[in-house]
Each structure stands twice: as structure tokens, then as C-alpha cells.
Amino acid sequence: MVKVWFGYRKPWLGLATAALFAGAAASAQTSVGRGARDPLKATVIVGSEGKGLYVGAGIPEGNSPIYAAKDGAVPAGVEPLAHDIFTTTDFYKDRQLWSDARYYRCNSAVGLEQIWGAYEVPLIGDDPPRSAAWGYCDRDYPRAEIVSPYGFKSAKEHYAALLAETKRKGGPTVYTQATLPDWNGRYRRQREKTASWYNGAVLQIPTYLSLLKPEYQQRFVQQMYHYSGSNAAQWPGSYCWPEGFMRRFAQYGGGDVSLVMTPELILDMRNAAKTLITQIHIGREFDESGVVPRLGPDVPQWFGETIGFWDGDALITWTSNIQGWISHGGFEFSNKLQSIEIYTPRKDASGTFVGIKQEIVLYDDEAFVEPLRIVHNLDKQRELNQGDPLVIMECVPQSFPVDGHTTPMSPGQIVEYRVPDIYGRPWAQIWERYHEEGMQRPREQTGRFGL
């Protein structure tokens, strides 16, 4: 019987360890808070079909189908649970099963998100959802490669340590427009499914849950159930709701990056259903008198507010005052989310600038059990003034929730529309109203004054 608990099963450990030491030798960390060895590349872990680590199930573009079993069959050697996320009548009651990968049929988060065909060939089978496919239970991405390798408890502590380190070297570096590193340009993030754990394809869901606090575990499982059991995805962008801070790092959304550089302000602009703009204010300090550090009024911002400084050719930023939200397929995050992001140049063997490495450390003590890290590589594509201009996305609503399902509507059609409580997890309001009848969702206690 295969039982996969919170990321501790590592059948590929030999390969992974070899790669890990190779990586360590290539980039020894010399800083207190940046430049740690890159997370293990999922591609070094070869699956049985030779396509690299991919939990599945799925038929990703350019790959052969990846699933361990489909159409109601069970993979050899795996003992299925009596019921799972596809067959449950109440996923809330199954909390003790959430840490067992078989509850999700060993599908990754992306595996579940796409199982009805969200962006790949559906693998839900001919008797959905009972006949949904299985991913590979013997694959997982190491949790240790997801959590921050640094010992800081908060973004503030992390930023202060990096700033102090820079000051000891005589910094921060102050640039003029003439001396500023010329990173102006348009970039494409390396974004294949296996490029980052945050793309959701290489880790089992129990490993994902092990990163989250109980309330956010429940929210994540709720999201997974509504991809798999009810086929009722509620992607914020589909309704032109805000995309939110973490969308910057999603596999597709935010994958094309434009950088506009000045000594005082750097713009990091990306596109999803809307344009995602990060304004990096160089040399400024946060007002720390409130609940979270901020630059402007005490109003959470969809992309937060960002300060930064230069340490030579490394740009170090701190983002705070972020509006809590979700990036579909990923975890929900709270208004406490803060990030430390380090942009450093990548050069080829001849020393020519080819792109940017972006190291992102995420702090959210309301949602995460410990800080997390994402590392992305951005490849320079062209100059800012070459090719098509960046499209500023103004999302125009075309789809509406009809009976709890995202439904494209035509001009003139009439739809009964329930106004969402936009700051109160509107996606979950739809799920709970239309797709959780009879379930016993844990409720908040009634407070004082009967509220």
C-alpha cells in the first residue's frame, strides 16, 4: 500500500540529493539573506515515462500523457481509500484524510485543476467524477526545497539584515540614470510546469497543505474539491475580479515581464486578466506605525507597496500592505503577506546579460507555517521599444456565475446576479451557496451582540 504523508516520501532521493549537491557547489551562499542554492529542479527527477517529475494527472503541452491510471482504474500497488475528493459527500468531514495523497488520487493541484479540461485534455473519464484519473503516488517535490532557506521570521527582519549587510560594504549603491544597470526590456519567465513548485504540478497536495495553517488548509482543500468534485472553478480573472499579488508568480499569468528602470522608481509590469504593476520605490522607508508597514494611506493594495535598494548589481525589495486574495490553483493568502524579492543579473559564459534571476521569499504568519521561497528566471526577449507595446489590460466582464458555474454570456442575455462580498472570499461564497448543500462547514462562533 502506498501512503503519502505531508511530503516525507522520497523515492527519488538519490537523484535529488546528487542534484542538490551539484547545485550547492555551483552557487555557494555568501549573503545572510540571498543567493542560497536554487531549489532543486524538478526536471532532474525523472519519472517513469522519462519526462521529468510531474505528479500528474495531465496531458501537458508537448508531453506524453502523464497519469498512473484512468477511467476508474487504480494504479497497481495502490490501495484506494473508501472515498476520496471525487466521491466524497462532505470534504469538510474528511479532514483526517486530507494528509493522505490518495484522497486526491495522487493528483497535483494542477492535476485536479485541469482534470475536467481546464487547459489540457480532460482526464475525468466517462463516469465523472468517479472515473477521474490518478497521478503518480510515488512522486513528490521535497518540502525542504519550498520553504525559505533563511532563518528570518519576518520580511522586516530579512530586509534589515540585507540592508545592514549592504551598509557594511559601503552601500546601498546609488545610481544615476547613466550608471543604472540597464535592465530595461521585456522578459519571459521560464515557465514550464516543472520550472517552479509554485506552478503546482510537481508536488503532492499533502505537501502543499503542510505549508499552510489549518484555516488555509481548509480553504485549499475547498478549492481542490471544487475543481474535482463539483467542476465549479471560480477563477477571479474570469469575472474581472482583481487578480491579486500572487498572480505575479503564477505559471501563465505574470509570465511576461516588462522592466522600466529609473534611479528613483522601477516598474515591474506583467499581464494576466488585468495588468499587474509593481512600483519599486528606491531608497524609501516604510511607515511602520500601523498593522503592516506601508507607504501610502492605511489601505491594503492589490499589489502592495514596495521599497528597495541596490547592493551593487542586486536589487533588493520589500513589499507590504498587500490585499489578501487567491491565485487560482495556489493557496489563499492574507493581508499579512509580505515579500522580499531579489533581482540579480544572469549572464552567459561570455558575460553578456541574458536575463534576471528573481528570488522571492514570502512571509505570511496568518496563512503559512513558515516562510516560503520561489525562484524564477526571466529571459530577456527584447528592448522596451521593440515589437508590440505592452497591452494595458482593462478587463471587461463577459462571464458571470450562473447557478454557481462560470458562464460566458452574450449581449442582451439576462442573468440573475447575486452581488458578491468582494473582500470576503467571493469565490467561496459561490461554492458554499451552490455546491456545498448538506455539507457541514465549520462555522464561525456567534460573537457579542449576536453578530
Partner 1 sequence: MKRRMASLALGAVVSLALVHAARAHHSFAMYDVGKTYVMTGIVTRVDPNPNHLQIFFAPLNEERTQVLKNDAGEPIVWAVEMDGAAISARQGISVNGFPRGTIISVGLHPLRNGFAGGGRGKSGLFKCPPDTPPAAGKHCDSVPGSTSHGEGVLPQPTDEAPARPKS
Q: Minimal distance in Å, beta carbon 395 to partner 1?
A: 16
Q: Grid cell 505592452 — which residue?
A: 390
Q: Minimal distance in Å, beta carbon 174 to partner 1?
A: 30
Taking the least distance from each CB to partner 1, the nearer of 168 and 448 is 448
Taking the least distance from each CB to partner 1, the nearer of 292 and 430 is 292
Q: β-pairing, 185-189 with 332-333? A: unpaired
Taking the least distance from each CB to partner 1, the nearer of 50 and 424 is 424
Q: Minimal distance in Å, beta carbon 237 to partner 1?
A: 19
Q: Minimal distance in Å, beta carbon 13 to partner 1?
A: 45
Taking the least distance from each CB to partner 1, the nearer of 288 and 313 is 288
Taking the least distance from each CB to partner 1, the nearer of 244 and 255 is 244
Residue 385 neighbours by CB distance under 10 Å: 9
Q: What are the Cα distances from residue 313, in Å, to 180, 342, 355?
A: 9, 10, 13
Per the CB < 8 A criterion, the answer to whether 138 and 2 are in contact is yes
First to last CA, the chain: 48
Q: What are the two backbone dihedrals, phi and then psi, of residue 393, each rounded to the nearest 5 degrees?
A: -85, 115
Q: Minimal distance in Å, beta carbon 451 to partner 1?
A: 5
Query: What is 168-219 written as a DSSP string?
Result: HTT--B---TTTS----EEEEE---GGG-GGGSSSSBHHHHHTTB-HHHHHH
Per the CB < 8 A criterion, the answer to whether 214 and 221 are in contact is no
- Which DSSP helix (H) or strand (E) runs through 215? helix 214-228
Q: Minimal distance in Å, beta carbon 330 to partner 1?
A: 23
Per the CB < 8 A criterion, the answer to whether 84 and 107 are in contact is no
Binding site for partner 1 (CB under 8 A): 290-292, 296-300, 323, 335, 421-424, 447-451
Taking the least distance from each CB to partner 1, the nearer of 388 and 444 is 444
Distance of CA 339 to the CA centre of its chain: 13
Q: Minimal distance in Å, beta carbon 58 to partner 1?
A: 37
Taking the least distance from each CB to partner 1, the nearer of 351 and 447 is 447
What is d(CA 105, CA 137) in angstroms, rounded to the nearest whole number?
8
